[in-house]
Structure formats: C-alpha cells, structure tokens
C-alpha cells in the first residue's frame, strides 16, 4: 500500500514471500506490544495512589475549588485558570469526569489513563502513515522508545502522563486529520489543535506543523484560514495565561539564546542519549539537520504526516526550551519531555526508509533501526530502573510518614514545596470524602511456616504505636550470606498468640554500602505497617524472620512492642540490636 502522492523509488526484482511478510508483520506487532506489557507489569509495582507536586493543586485543589463554587461562570473560569505557563483544560475535565463517576480521586486511574493516551497515539501514528509496512515500523519504534523506563515520570505519575502523553495523542490525531484532506477533517483537526493548546503550552507547536501540511498540499484557502485560526487561538491562550507566573525570565542576548538552543537540542536528542547530555546535544543537532535536509531536497517523496509529526515534536521541544532553559532544577533530559524526542526520532527514521534505492536495502535499514530501538528500550530500562524505583518510593515514603505523623512537615524528601499547604489540602479532601492518604499495610501470613533458628543480623530504627497504626522499620540479614531470595518478616509473640507480618520493601543503600561484598542487601530493608485494631493490647516479643523458597529462618530479639488498650496512644522507641552497619551513619 503506497500513497498516490508519493513517488516510489526503483524496485529490484526480489520480493519477500507471503510467509515472510506475515512473519515480519507479526514481529513488528510483537515489538509494539511487548514494551506496553512490560510497563503494565511495572505499573503494578510503581504506581501509587498518592498525590505529588502539581497534583495537590491541579487535581485535589481543583476539585475542592469546584465544590466551593456556586456559579456556572466560576466553574468555567476554574477550567481555564492558568497554572504556571499552562492552561490545562483537558486534564481538568478528565479529573472532573473521574470525580463525578466515582465521587473521589484516584491517581492510579489518572496515570493509567495517561498511559492509554500514549498507546493510542502509537496506534494513530502507525495507522496514519501512508505505507502499511512503514506504519507498522513506526508503531513498533514509537512503542519501544516511549514504553521504557527513561520515561518513568510520565509512565508512573498522573501529573505527567495525563498531560504529556495526552498532548501527544491530540497533536498526532490533529495532523492525521489534516493530511486526510477535506473540510470536515480540517475542522476536526482544528478542534484537536484547540484541545492540545489548552492541555500544555507546547501544544502551540501543532499549529506550525499543521500549517506545513496545508502548505505542502497546496490548499491555499485552508492554509489562510488555518493561519487566522492559529493567531486567534494563540491570542486566546495568551489572554488566559495573563499574569500567571512562568518558569522564569526570558533570555537576554546571545548567551541566553545559546543556553536555550543547547537546552532545545539536548531535549530533541535525549531519548537516544540514554541520559548523556553531551551526546544528546549532538544527536539533537544531527536530527534537526537531517530533517531540514530531507525537507529541502526530498520534500516530494516524504510522507506528509510523518514530516508534520517530526516538525511538531521538534517545535514542541523548542517551546519547552524557551520556558525551561533557565531553570537549573528542570533538566533538558527530564523524563517527562522524552516522549517528544521519541516521536521525533521515530518519524525521521521512518521517513528515510522509502528514500533508499532498493527493497533489500530498505528492509535491512528497517531491521537496523528497529534493532537500535530495541537496544535503547532494554538499556534505558536497565539504566533508569533505580531512578524509577526511587521516584515511586517517594510517594510510598510520604504516605507512611503521613500515616505515622499526621503531617507532611519534616518529610525528608518533600513531595510538595509547601508542606503546610499540603496538609491543609489533604485534610480538606479527607473531610469532603474525596481522597484519603492511605499507607500500604503489611500482609499477614495465613499460616506460619516451620521456622529454623538461625543467626540474623538486624537493626530496628522505628517502633511506634499511633492511634491508627503500628510502624516498625529496620533491616535484617543472615550473618553469612545464604541466599538472595530471602524476604524479611516480623513475628510478634504474645503468649500462645503469634502474628507473622511481611516487611514491605524499604530501600537501604546504607546497608549495601556497609556490606559491599554481599548480593542479598537489596531485600534487607523492611517497613511494617500494622492496623492498630489488628492486634489485641499487650506486650509482644519480636522475632526477625527471613523466608525464601527453600528455607524459613528466625532469630529472637530483645525488642518488645507494647500495644496499649487505648487507641489514642503515640510513642516512639527506636533502638539498635544486632550489628549496626559499618561505615554507615545511623539512619
């Protein structure tokens, strides 16, 4: 299947058989689905129903504002209120829809919706390409570059995915409709452009890409109407933006222009650089130069849709650079921006394929770029696994801290700049029944296995009984390494009553540093949260327990957990027993 508007390069006499073509199609579809499945599996581990950064105000604060507004005008105004340099109408509508359907807010559902937008964008990208085979290649490449852990911030947080993935779907659909031709498609494309602009500020990039499509198709009247429409849309956007605070002051002079250009090129080249800023700059420069050469000298043989997608992504990176280049805390390789880089590289790579002279060379080149995308997907997921885990654990740690202290004030790694304001918002949504901060609860074993006494080195950092929960934190290891599959549990004993609770994962880099020669420190940390009502009052002796596939080991401690009869009790006893990590400061 080829586009009637594209001239075909010369063909050789060899053509793959039907069996080979079916096998190739199956491989491309598999390459599209496997990264999505990988992220879905990781989402079960990394997604947390806990607000972070913008979500306190743009989600919880927005719902509270709507509830307190009596007039329709006030509700409409809330949708179009600027937040920094964005007017996020679409994500606010999704939040409101979720609230109306469920009566509450769930950040996992919002994040899953964002990931669904990304997958739909991948499908639209493949469907819109003129050639069926190039469409399959484009979908596979985009999926491999998007659904990997370099994009962890988008994949595992609603505040990023609901906007940064949604805008990709909106702009891709807009350009697809414009390339179809016809007045109705152009009107529909304009509607998606409006939604993109009122999702994130860099949605304005689609206006330039759309103008290119109409100019290339020589649709002069549509081009003029699109130009007027774009000016009006940008004017309305700037009006709504008003005096809202932006990321920082505009650049001044050549130094500012150079800094913005470096930021832009770094963002464009980010997805293939695997986090290396120097490589990203040169990769971005190479990609922009390649696209410019293709448009100047091979414009008549380029797929209009893919060209527009590449232009849109590169312009979006430029808008991002203008708003972010002077903020030291926002890296051009920020995970949330890499989706634009992924689409730019996918589009340009697939654009080149039809320009190769023979079918064999096109197949070989397609296989090569697909293999490179697979390599980037695998290597990036390995390299960024630790950052993704830490990013997710910040929400977990915040929920545990709030469950223990009833406030975010004093949290070591804040999840909102103003802890006091976060407390106020969380209290308000809790009282309104919209959202509750719920810490993960340790599962209790239904049956206690036969335990073998064994020397276990351990340390307790926290033992606290609060009104609602019991918190126990620490680490444990066998004195000598036995196995890497041992997981920490705590056995609480009171007379004949015994309760065995699984220790929730709690990263302990201090233990890893103290025992550099051991490979079993990854599971050493534990954090147990036990509902206060789950234990009758009394004094409980604590045994540390390590359970694996072939052994269950235990060691008695001299720690006693006192659970009083009154629920409204708070107290902390944290002490060290066993062996404290060497060359490691006490937590």
The answer on pLDDT for 470 being more than 80 is yes
Question: What is the rounded average pLDDT for all residues in the chain?
Answer: 88
**Cα–Cα distance, 399 to 408 (Å, whole number):** 9
How does residue 328 score in pLDDT terms, banded at 50, 70 and 90?
A: low
Q: Which residue has the tokens 């490589």?
A: 279
Q: Which residue has the tokens 């527009």?
A: 308
* pLDDT tens digits, one per residue of 379-424: 999 999 999 999 999 999 999 999 988 999 999 889 998 999 999 9
Per-residue CA distances from 173 to 196, 442, 446 (Å): 10, 44, 51
Domain-by-domain residue ranges, the chain? Answer: 32-243+253-387, 452-563
Lowest-pLDDT range of 211-220, 234-243, 466-475, 565-574 = 565-574
274 Cβ contact list (under 8 Å, min separation 6):
150, 376, 379, 380, 383
Q: Residue 259, class by beta-carbon neighbours within 10 Å (0-12 exposed, 13-18 middle, 19+ buried)?
A: middle
- Edge-first strand order for the sheet with 497-502 is 452-453, 552-563, 538-547, 487-494, 497-502
DSSP annotation string for 136-159: HHHHHHHHHHHSSGGGHHHHT-HH
- pLDDT on residue 576: 40
- Report residue 562 as tokens: 């006192």
- pLDDT on residue 3: 44
The answer on pLDDT for 12 being more than 70 is no
* Domain 452-563 indexed as CATH 2.60.40.10: yes
Per-residue CA distances from 156 to 109, 111, 397 (Å): 11, 6, 16
DSSP annotation string for 451-472: -EE--EEEEEEEEEE-SSEEEE
HSE-CB at 317 with a 13 A cutoff on CA atoms is 36
Share of the chain above pLDDT 90, in %: 68
The answer on pLDDT for 149 being more than 80 is yes
The DSSP letter of residue 163 is I
Predicted TM-score (pTM) above 0.85: yes
* pLDDT tens digits, one per residue of 136-146: 999 999 999 99
Nearest to 211 by CA among 238, 196, 193: 193
* pLDDT tens digits, one per residue of 75-86: 787 888 877 778
**Cα–Cα distance, 394 to 48 (Å, whole number):** 10
């Amino acid at each position: 299947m080829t586009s009637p508007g594209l001239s075909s390069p010369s063909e050789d006499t060899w053509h793959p058989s039907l069996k080979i073509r079916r096998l190739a199609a199956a491989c491309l579809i598999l390459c599209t689905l496997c990264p999505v499945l990988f992220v879905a599996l990781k989402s079960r581990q990394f997604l947390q129903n806990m607000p972070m950064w913008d979500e306190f105000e743009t989600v919880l604060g927005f719902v509270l504002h709507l509830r307190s507004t009596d007039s329709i005008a006030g509700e409409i105004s809330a949708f179009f209120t600027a937040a920094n340099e964005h007017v996020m109408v679409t994500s606010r509508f999704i939040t409101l829809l979720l609230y109306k359907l469920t009566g509450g807010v769930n950040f996992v559902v919002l994040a899953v919706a964002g990931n669904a937008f990304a997958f739909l964008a991948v499908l639209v990208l493949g469907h819109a390409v003129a050639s069926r085979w190039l469409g399959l290649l484009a979908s596979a490449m985009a999926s491999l570059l998007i659904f990997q852990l370099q994009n962890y911030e988008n994949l595992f947080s609603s505040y990023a995915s609901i906007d940064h993935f949604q805008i990709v779907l909106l702009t891709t659909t807009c350009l697809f409709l414009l390339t179809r031709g016809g007045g109705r498609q152009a009107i529909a494309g304009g509607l998606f452009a409006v939604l993109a602009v009122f999702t994130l500020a860099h949605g304005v990039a689609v206006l330039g890409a759309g103008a290119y499509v109409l100019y290339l198709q020589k649709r002069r009247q549509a081009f003029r109407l699109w130009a007027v429409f774009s000016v009006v849309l940008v004017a309305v956007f700037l009006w709504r933006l008003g005096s809202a605070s932006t990321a920082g002051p505009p650049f001044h002079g050549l130094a500012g222009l150079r800094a913005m250009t470096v930021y832009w090129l770094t963002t464009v080249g980010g997805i293939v650089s695997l986090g290396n800023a120097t490589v990203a700059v040169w990769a971005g420069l190479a990609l922009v130069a390649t696209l410019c050469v293709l448009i100047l000298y091979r414009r008549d043989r380029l797929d209009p849709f893919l060209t527009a997608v590449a232009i849109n992504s590169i312009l979006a990176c430029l808008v991002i650079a203008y708003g972010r280049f002077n903020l030291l805390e926002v890296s051009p390789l920020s995970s949330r921006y890499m989706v634009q880089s992924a689409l730019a590289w996918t589009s340009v790579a697939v654009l080149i394929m039809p320009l190769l002279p023979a079918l064999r060379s096109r197949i070989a080149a397609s296989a090569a770029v697909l293999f490179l995308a697979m390599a980037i997907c695998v290597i990036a997921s390995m390299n960024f696994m630790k950052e993704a885990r830490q990013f997710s654990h910040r929400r977990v740690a915040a929920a545990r801290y709030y469950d223990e202290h009833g406030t975010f004030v004093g949290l070591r790694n804040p999840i909102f700049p103003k802890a006091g304001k976060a407390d106020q918002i969380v209290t308000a949504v809790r009282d309104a029944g919209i959202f509750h901060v719920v810490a993960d609860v340790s599962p209790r074993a239904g049956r206690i296995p036969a335990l073998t006494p064994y020397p276990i080195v351990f340390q307790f950092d926290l033992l606290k009984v609060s009104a609602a929960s019991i918190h126990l934190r620490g680490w444990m290891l066998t004195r000598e390494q036995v196995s890497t599959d041992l997981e920490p549990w705590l056995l609480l004993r009171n007379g004949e009553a015994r309760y065995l609770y699984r220790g929730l994962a709690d990263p302990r880099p201090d233990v890893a540093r103290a025992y550099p020669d051991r490979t079993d420190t990854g599971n050493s940390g534990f954090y147990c949260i036990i509902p206060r009502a789950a234990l009758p009052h009394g004094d409980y002796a604590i045994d540390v327990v390590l359970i694996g596939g072939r052994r269950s080991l235990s060691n008695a401690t001299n720690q006693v957990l006192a659970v009083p009869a009154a629920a409204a009790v708070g107290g902390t006893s944290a002490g060290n027993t066993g062996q404290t990590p060497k060359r490691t400061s006490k937590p």
